[in-house]
Structure 1
Amino acid sequence: MVNIWETVMDAMKSMTNQDKGQPLHVGEVMACWMYLAGLELAKVTVQAGINTTDDDELRSILDEDMKLGTSQRERLHDFMIKEGITLPPAPADMPISNPNSIPLGVKLTDDVLANELSLKIISLIMNAASASSQSIRTDVGLLFVQFLAEKLAFATRLKHLMRKRGWIQVPPFYVPPGSQQP
């Protein structure tokens, strides 16, 4: 099956030759470093969530995020090595554990796990959007646009699950002074 996103990305890559031999600027390097650091930290949080939850739907979404995070980490890691960028430290993987062996005072609830995952996804989305808009080199910008699109698609599925389960936290509605309540 043809992946439209990959086709568009390939077409855009082939249209630009002006970046050949151009080094990364410090902002691009920092964006790569920060995004990979965020992915590395998110990995252990997701592993802890997988070890903690008994909820099949939440475990499935955590597994999906783990796969997406692994894919993005590998692509960014390879890019950074190719460009000679020092990699951020990565925490060790969490050992697999039984959710029922976690003491109740330590075990996070499913709604806390889902909201924590949501905040990490939001942070990575904001980092990817910022990095793509500040990139001069086309390959860096496209890499972050791709990361952004993948995270946005995942966030939509996560939000659907959170709404379905009543886990989503909605800030108070804003009603301007003098207006009628909605």
Structure 2
Amino acid sequence: MRENSEGENSEVNKTRQERYEFIYGNTARKMEAAPAKPEYEPSRQPKRKPAVRTKRKTTPQTKANQTKALEFDFAFIKALAAGMAVIALVSFFYLSEQSKLEQQRSAVSAKKSELSTLLVENEDLNLEIEQSINLPAIQETAMKKYGMKKPAQSKVIAYDSKNVDYVRQYNKIPDSK
């Protein structure tokens, strides 16, 4: 590293603590007192003169422009009315669509509720029908009224289905002896 002057060399040789005036430890060291500020001496400082504001003169053209700017133009009023009409129409359309959407949501909700009720009723009716079937009464009626009889064991053929997707068993399956 090249040294240009003594001041630069002394800055490099200082420790980090010395360069940045870090204070380590739990107590602060006593610092040198700052030099006292000179007291205010009114005789030394010159008095300022109050600023005098001059009133600007406005030309007739400037006055005409100012009055014209303050007036509402008929074209501006038409544009403002057209803008307000567009905003009103868009707002009305938006609110009507929101109303339709809310009606559709409530209709869907009512239909879902009705479907749920009908499914429960259907399951109840199916269970009632299955429980109302009296197999011994059917067997007795078939034997007496229609002359049917049980087949012999040699005539019964067992069938095993390999494509059974769903089986619902309500009672114990009787043995075929």
TM-score normalised to structure 2 length = 0.19
Relative contact order, CA 8 A, sep 6+: which one is greater? 1
